[in-house]
Amino acid sequence: MLIRPARPEDAAAVWSILEPVIRAGETYTLDSDMSEREALAYWFGPDKETFVAEDGGAIVGTYYIRPNQAGGGRHVCNCGYMTAAAAQGKGVARTMCEHSLAHAKACGFRAMQFNFVVSSNARAVKLWQTLGFATVGRLPAAFAHPVHGLVDALVMFRAL
Amino acid sequence: MLIRPARPEDAAAVWSILEPVIRAGETYTLDSDMSEREALAYWFGPDKETFVAEDGGAIVGTYYIRPNQAGGGRHVCNCGYMTAAAAQGKGVARTMCEHSLAHAKACGFRAMQFNFVVSSNARAVKLWQTLGFATVGRLPAAFAHPVHGLVDALVMFRAL
């Protein structure tokens, strides 16, 4: 699997990954009716560095990294990861997260924070734990899950 | 004290409150060299509703309220408050927070979250506690304080 910076010509492939995740509304706090233009503007925002994961020439995942806060909070980064529906369960998210941890360290970040991990997303919670993230906060009933109703969200954190 | 929606002509008074807080860099994760234009664009951002507190005709404080997240997180709001240096210790922040809690409830928000309360800002931490906020998260060494060095930041939360 090759992880490389996203290029403008990757937009359609990235959108094909983002769209089902956004439409489902189960894991990200993004409006489920976001347009392609809005979603790509968000994912390729000026505060972010965006990557794609390629496997056999196909784009199977994408992630962004950005400073989580400005000013005195700039040494902590934040990332978001999405895997293509067809590539689930193949370690794409793990590989992207490992890449992001190394990249973050190389960029001088001192820690990585996930602000809002939906607690019902058990696979993600487990994966971040195995990658060394601790749950440092729990936001009670902070997420309205379309199937499960109100569920907690977790704040997860890892020093670099 | 009168709390009312901010108007465009309040910009200069609002900036006179924001500027010393931003320049000090001790309590907000905003770049301390932010320009007036950038700071006002942030404080009056399209995602925010912005208020001012007037006392005897002078603007002594300002706050914003916004949804803390989009999508499934839209029922939780977030606020930021700043008090004029000359009006510290007169209950301005408390009055603004009480106003924001009532306003948030009237708007249909179900909870209020502060994402990043600098732990060395003891006065703020104490005030939010007395107003019913619980510390639901602690971000280790997440804030580089210009005087104290790396300090924790707190995530504080209150149901409405």
Distance from CA of B123 to the nearest CA of A (A): 19
Task: Give pLDDT, residue A144.
Answer: 98
Distance from CA of A73 to the nearest CA of B (A): 5
Distance from CA of A2 to the nearest CA of B (A): 31
Exposure on the CB side of residue A121, measured as CA atoms within 13 A: 23
Indicate the pTM of the whole model.
Answer: 0.96
Model ipTM value: 0.95
B-chain residues within 8 Å CB-CB of A115? 115
d(CA A143, CA B73): 5
Paired residues of A3 in beta bridges? A53
Tell me the pLDDT of chain B (160 aa) as tens digits. 999 999 999 999 999 999 999 999 999 999 999 999 999 999 999 999 999 999 999 999 999 999 999 999 999 999 999 999 999 999 999 999 999 999 999 999 999 999 999 999 999 999 999 999 999 999 999 999 999 999 999 999 999 9
Are B143 and A111 a contacting pair at CB < 8 A? no
Candidates A31, A136, A138, A150, partner chain B, best to mutate (most B CBs within 10 A): A136
Interface residues on A facing B, Cβ-Cβ cutoff 8 A: 25-26, 28-32, 69-76, 110-111, 113, 115-116, 118, 136-146, 153, 155, 157, 159
Task: Give pLDDT, residue B96.
Answer: 98
Task: Give pLDDT, residue A41.
Answer: 98
Q: Six-digit token pair at B73?
A: 């997180």
d(CA A95, CA A106): 17
d(CA B89, CA A63): 45
Are B69 and A155 a contacting pair at CB < 8 A? no
B26-39 in b/e form (b: 16+ CB < 10 A) is bbbbbbeebeeeeb
Task: Give pLDDT, residue A130.
Answer: 98
Is the CB of residue A22 less than 8 Å from the CB of residue A3? no
Low-confidence residues in chain A, pLDDT < 70? none
Task: Give pLDDT, residue A14.
Answer: 98
Distance from CA of A117 to the nearest CA of B (A): 11
